[in-house]
Structure 1
């Protein structure tokens, strides 16, 4: 339920900002993938995971192709995308080291948030919408694996 509310907030922020079509696509797909989870169905859960993998690939592509973001944001968004790809694959295939990958997702989210606060660029960040959703996903994923 928390991820759904944060998905809607991230989506509203992304569409209100008006900048970047690619960020809007990423945020919209990511919000859809988490809103699908409200319906408790195995098939929908699988489609949500596949959609998250697709969005993770889009994040990696975005981090390489975007021209208006600084090096730290490029590294964090790309790193989060790659780590999210591996986390989803490890979860589906029941591989070990899911805890470590979830912790890495959480660490990247915290570093991204602190970099936004330190640079005092919370409002000017066009990709804050989907990073807010990814951050909440990282927190819930970490809590789920710890329990």
Structure 2
């Protein structure tokens, strides 16, 4: 009886570990904080893992502290990111985000933080974005990020 409980516990821990690993495979890959006139802010996600990840009802938050402002983009139900695929969350054109700076946070439906950027700055009012280079690499360092010509929904150059 005791062995069965140990096996069951080990199995459950294995499932939990693989679920957490899948969450970690999706990263914030590119961010447009100051689009050209008439455009909207957007955030590109990238699944750098080998498995599909269901990102249904996750949310992408752009948070600016000066002045305090938050924009939230909800990911629709039934959104699954295939291995090596991109997903672009589009902001609302009516947002008034005057500074072009912010931290971007990716959260699960339950509010678990999957990824978070450092404070990013973009006052270019053009097609330049902040993006990870190399594509999808996340070492939790500011040096993961480059400011350059955007590559929306495609590998970063």
Q: Provide TM-score, normalisation by structure 1.
A: 0.26
Q: Provide TM-score, normalisation by structure 2.
A: 0.25
User: Which structure dedicates a bigger proportion of its chain to helix?
Assistant: 1
Give the structure with higher Rg (CA): 2
